[in-house]
Amino acid sequence: MTQAADTNLFTALRAGFPAELDATAIETIDEPPLFYTWRDIERATAMFANLLASLDLPAGARIAVQVDKSVESLLFYLAVLRAGFVYLPLNPAYKSDEIAYFIGNAGPSVFVCAPKDFARLSALAFSAGTTFVFSLGDDHGGSLLERATHFSDHHVAARRGRDELAAIVYTSGTTGRSKGAMLTHGNLLSNALTLKSFWGWRRPEDGGDVLIHALPIFHVHGLFVASHGALLAGAKMLWLARFNAAKVAALLPRASVFMGVPTLYVRLLGEASLTKQACRSMRLFISGSAPLLLETFDAFRERTGHTILERYGMSETVMLTSNPYDAKDGERRGGTVGLPLPGVELRVRDEPGRLVPQGEIGSIEVRGPNVFAGYWGMPEKTKEEFVEGGWFKTGDVGRIDADGYVVIVGRSKDLIISGGYNVYPAEIESVLNEMPGVAESAVVGVPHADFGEAVVAVVVARPGAALDGAALLAALKTRIANFKVPKAIFVVSELPRNAMGKVQKNLLRDAHRALFA
């Protein structure tokens, strides 16, 4: 019997490590600085993987992780891949109700949380059927590290086929709760390899890239796009536990690549130390996860002499399009997300499903080896999001210009993107609607100078009830992650509706457009 080819993503990433295993792979910028070598990555992931192997987990076990960003948490992610299990990252901002949903939906065998949350979340996880709960702090503490030190630093990576699951990333949806996008080893590896050559990642022997890693690692951008790129190229990472504009500006002279959501570029522009001189060793600035305003694109070029490369992706598809890296492939055009990446097909169709003529607006659909395997435990939802021929409906609305550049003009999905985080209005509305005295609510996104979009809620009181906006916000903060909590709330007597009775969110958006612009 012939064995399927091994596509374990960890094995492929490890093949990118440099020959000099004692060179620094990751340098932490937060005090005190720590230096992790490539050998440290090899050994620590082996120890974590051996710990996981000792737990006798079922095949395909999900390992859910809600911890603050640390190098150890990245190493644990790599170890989950190495051991052949399925990684499920969760934003540390999520509150108990949100965690209960994810654990209930994904049924992880293992849950890892911050030491400070252990008492509360271990009870929650055990009652939902999780077998093992560990803690991992951002200060090198916690039971996960303590246990792992007892295991061997040799481990033979599990063989994994292209279609086997590597990770589940929860993403917002237009109705109901979040859906877990199932990403396979093949999805993540094909995308990582494409980006490695498309963005010209430089190996140590070719001059060696240095990446400033300042993004969270519970989403596609920081966990996959940034980390995979550096690991696969054997490139060093300068590691920040959280983004800080002054620190990043100070690091630029030591770096060559930076990735950020548009808010990070807006904040960098607020630093007087962001100059052409500070950017002298930089090769590439990449932006994505939300629309980059043309004014930010222009101001950045003016200030630094660098043209930001904007790209477009989704949790379900990893990266889809990119502006050219190499000038011979074309210019980087502000206001566009570039061209489909090699191997990715992208088309624009109208409502009845006809391809629109070039330049006209329609729904963006995509196909390729990067497109996910479906939503965890939601076969019906999965079916709804695909059309014949394996095309995935992105929910984004756009057009393709005469030169093939894709322009995203809006979204058909009711979604707000605030500082690169997705907020799903239906979720906030349902939490608000359950609150005493609330008859109904509508949540919209309005322009925000820092976050791109800000969440705003409009609420109607039940007859006879007196609603206090500040009290509603305080109550929301106990139920949902803070970044989802509206930046403003208005109590009104009624919501604007059209003749069909549908709430006219566009009127609400227009009414509050100038709030934070």
d(CA 443, CA 57): 42
Q: What are phi and psi of 126, to 5 degrees?
A: -60, -40
| One-letter amino acid for residue 24 of the chain | T
Nearest residue to 314 (alpha-carbon basis) of 332, 337, 343: 337
> Who contacts 49 (Cβ-Cβ below 8 Å, separation ≥6)?
79, 80, 82, 83, 155, 157
451 binds, among ligand MCA, ligand AMP, none (CB under 5 to 8 A by kind): ligand MCA
CB of 312 to ligand MCA, least distance (A): 6
Contact status: 421 vs ligand MCA (CB under 6 A): yes
480 binds, among ligand MCA, ligand AMP, none (CB under 5 to 8 A by kind): none
Contact status: 182 vs ligand AMP (CB under 6 A): no
d(CA 171, CA 118): 25
42 vs 396, beta carbon nearer ligand AMP: 396
CB of 406 to ligand AMP, least distance (A): 9
d(CA 163, CA 167): 12
Stretch of residues binding ligand MCA (CB under 6 A), selected from 59-67, 309-317, 404-412, 432-440: 309-317
CB of 158 to ligand MCA, least distance (A): 26
Unique residue bearing structure tokens 């629109």 = 356
Contact status: 314 vs ligand MCA (CB under 6 A): yes
Site string for ligand MCA, 323-342 (x = CB under 6 A): --------------------
Pairing of strands 421-423, 416-418: antiparallel
User: Length of the chain, please?
Assistant: 517
**Helices (H), ranges, 243-401:** 245-251, 262-269, 294-304, 379-385
> Which of 85, 258, 312, 376 touches ligand AMP (CB under 6 A)?
312
Contact status: 7 vs ligand AMP (CB under 6 A): no
Contact status: 291 vs ligand MCA (CB under 6 A): no
57 vs 226, beta carbon nearer ligand MCA: 226
7 vs 418, beta carbon nearer ligand MCA: 418
Contact status: 478 vs ligand MCA (CB under 6 A): no
Q: Is 285 exposed, middle or buried (0-12, 13-18, 19+ CB in 10 A)?
A: buried
Contact status: 220 vs ligand MCA (CB under 6 A): yes
Q: Per the structure block, which two tokens stand in for 33?
A: 């600085």
CA angle 418, 246, 477 (to 5 degrees): 35
> Which of 89, 137, 222, 313 touches ligand AMP (CB under 6 A)?
313
Count Cβ atoms below 10 Å from residue 487 Cβ, excluding itself: 16
Nearest residue to 236 (alpha-carbon basis) of 28, 481, 378, 444: 28
d(CA 290, CA 8): 30
Unique residue bearing structure tokens 């030190």 = 149
Site string for ligand AMP, 281-310 (x = CB under 6 A): -------xxxx------------------x
Site string for ligand AMP, 141-180 (x = CB under 6 A): ------------------------------xx--------
Nearest residue to 257 (alpha-carbon basis) of 306, 321, 193, 313: 306
Q: Per the structure block, which two tokens stand in for 250?
A: 């100070």
CB of 303 to ligand AMP, least distance (A): 21
User: By beta-carbon distance, which residue lies closest to ligand MCA?
Assistant: 419
- From its phi and psi, is residue 506 left (phi > 0), alpha (psi between -120 and 50) or beta? alpha
CA angle 140, 145, 148 (to 5 degrees): 155
User: By beta-carbon distance, which residue lies closest to ligand AMP?
Assistant: 315
171 binds, among ligand AMP, ligand MCA, none (CB under 5 to 8 A by kind): ligand AMP
> Which of 165, 337, 339, 346 touches ligand AMP (CB under 6 A)?
337
In order, the DSSP letters of 434-453 are TSTTEEEEEEEEEEETTTEE
Contact status: 215 vs ligand AMP (CB under 6 A): no
24 touches 36 (CB < 8 A): yes
86 vs 455, beta carbon nearer ligand MCA: 455
289 vs 441, beta carbon nearer ligand MCA: 289
Contact status: 264 vs ligand AMP (CB under 6 A): no
Count Cβ atoms below 10 Å from residue 345 Cβ, excluding itself: 14
> Which of 277, 482, 504, 506 touches ligand MCA (CB under 6 A)?
482
Stretch of residues binding ligand MCA (CB under 6 A), selected from 132-140, 159-167, 308-316, 458-466: 308-316
Count Cβ atoms below 10 Å from residue 183 Cβ, excluding itself: 27
> Which of 257, 314, 432, 446 touches ligand AMP (CB under 6 A)?
314
Residues that bind ligand MCA (CB under 6 A): 215-216, 219-222, 242-243, 261, 263, 288-289, 313-315, 418-421, 451, 482-483
Residues of this chain that interact with ligand AMP (CB under 6 A) are 171-172, 220, 288-291, 310, 312-315, 337, 394-396, 408, 411, 417, 422
